[in-house]
Amino acid sequence: MKPLIFLFILSFFSPILCRDGEPFDYLMFTTIYPTAVCRADDDSVPESCEIPDGTPQWTIHGLWPNFENGSYPQNCHGTPRHFDENLIKPIEESLVKVWPNLYPKKTIQSFWKHEYDKHGTCAQSEKLFESELAYFTEVMKVFDSIDVAKAMSSVGPSEKLIGAKDITTALDGLLGGKRFQFNCLRDKKTKQFLLGDIRLCLNKDLTLRDCPGHKDDHLNRPCPSEFIYLPAESSKKSTSFFGKVWNAVKNIG
């Protein structure tokens, strides 16, 4: 082969061949309910979980490349391999709001770092996610375009027990009937099961698709048939018992 032609072919294919990340089948977007996360949290550490001021009812957990067979790639080769805060500066203000870290002992960026290092690096096999900034920007777009909080407002939050069917009905229009998943957390004090997150599945171009599973089975195994969609905590309040005691002591002292 003539060197020039070879170079031409190489330059044509190299952006595909050399892309970082790992091939995957689809994406799972998980949105969490911070009120439940903090309520279910272990009370052994004072003020361990806190919902920052101005946090929306539902927030981002992450966007994860997945395989159809149930496993997923993680900690892939990416550029950068490890989260670099400087690269997401242009959108950091918005990220702080909708993708908060609920643990004040950790840095605000620690959650983003975990998600990028473990999942974001793998997504770089797709052009849409080929940089760290692109990954975070696209996750925010998904969050903005799928308003779970609004769709869920027909179910609660309330003290009433709900079931899978209530969530399915609430999300039917938003998801066009696509299969989703959700998870419960357990309040260790009351032993109640709390709706903790909702997981949606997306094609690589971010259009909605069915999550794996059988029809009408939303893979809600950690949830019993009835559970609670907790009324939202007011912001900036420690939800742990020891945290409350600690605050009381601070206020007295």
Ligand X SMILES: *[C@@H]1O[C@H](CO)[C@@H](O)[C@H](O)[C@H]1NC(C)=O
Give the footprint of ligand X on this chain (CB under 6 A): 67, 69, 71
Tell me if residue 61 is catalytic.
yes
To ligand X, the closest distance from the beta carbon of 52 in angstroms equals 37
Cβ closer to ligand X: 71 or 251? Answer: 71
- Whether omega for the bond prior to residue 80 falls within 30 degrees of 0, making it cis, is yes
Q: What does residue 203 show for φ and ψ, rounded to 5 degrees?
A: -70, 170
- Contact predicate 138/130, CB 8 Å: no
Cβ closer to ligand X: 67 or 242? Answer: 67
| CA 112 from centroid of its chain's CA atoms | 10
User: Which DSSP symbol is given to 95?
Assistant: H
Q: Which residues contact 83 (CB under 8 A, 6 or more apart)?
A: 109, 112, 113, 116, 117, 120, 132
**Per-residue tokens: 253:** 């002292």
- CA-nearest of 134, 137, 41 to 95 is 137
To ligand X, the closest distance from the beta carbon of 67 in angstroms equals 4
To ligand X, the closest distance from the beta carbon of 71 in angstroms equals 4
Tell me if residue 114 is catalytic.
no
Cβ closer to ligand X: 69 or 234? Answer: 69
Tell me if residue 119 is catalytic.
yes
To ligand X, the closest distance from the beta carbon of 70 in angstroms equals 7
Longest dimension (CA), the chain: 84
Cβ closer to ligand X: 25 or 84? Answer: 25
Which listed residue (61, 126, 132, 138) is catalytic? 61
Cβ closer to ligand X: 67 or 246? Answer: 67
* Closest CB to ligand X: residue number: 69
Three-state DSSP class for 169?
A: helix
Q: Tell me the residue length of the chain.
A: 253
Q: What does residue 30 show for φ and ψ, rounded to 5 degrees?
A: -110, 125
Cβ closer to ligand X: 24 or 182? Answer: 24
Which listed residue (22, 50, 119, 130) is catalytic? 119
d(CA 28, CA 209): 10
To ligand X, the closest distance from the beta carbon of 69 in angstroms equals 4
Which listed residue (115, 126, 132, 138) is catalytic? 115
- Contact predicate 143/98, CB 8 Å: yes
Please report where in the chains the tokens 């977007």 appear, as a residue: 29
To ligand X, the closest distance from the beta carbon of 65 in angstroms equals 11
Q: What does residue 103 show for φ and ψ, rounded to 5 degrees?
A: -115, 100
* Residues annotated catalytic, as ranges: 61, 115, 119
